Amino acid sequence: AISPTGSRFDVYSSSLGSPRSSNAGESQERSAAVMGRQYLQMEARFSKTLASTVDQLEEARFQSSKLASEKSEVEGALAGSRSQLKGVLGELERAVQEIAMAQADLKDSQIQLLQIKEKLSAAEEARENGLIE
């Protein structure tokens, strides 16, 4: 039977078949009641710990999902940045090639100008010497 306190472990001595005034019966009743209360306290602590652990697990799952989403966004942005960088590097390589071609053209032009200058100097010298009028 359940005692008036409501604990399922508080047992009336009458269920043990001995008179209530018996010391052995009272001792057994007290021991059973103490053990029952201890069990209920441990069960309550375990339930609280379990609920807390479940909450922590749910929070960890949420954070993990959030981090996975952020990682995906970062990886997408990184892929976009890599693509842009490849484009910029391609343009830079083309620009370097164009500069090299322009430098080659400039050298050719300098050589032609030097040749023209030499021809002009020679013609001027020839005119001064009376070879050309």
Distance CA 32, CA 11 (A): 7
Query: Which pLDDT value is given to residue 12?
Result: 46
Distance CA 14, CA 2 (A): 11
C-beta of residue 126 within 8 angstroms of C-beta of residue 132: yes
Q: What is the pTM of this model?
A: 0.45
Query: Which pLDDT value is given to residue 126?
Result: 86
- Residue 90 token pair: 């391609």
Quick count: other Cβ atoms within 10 Å of Cβ 11? 19
- Per-residue pLDDT of 40-64, as tens digits, reads 999 999 999 999 999 999 999 999 9
Query: Which pLDDT value is given to residue 133?
Result: 61
Instruction: Identify the segments of the chain with pLDDT beneath 70.
Output: 1-22, 131-133
Residue type, 91: E
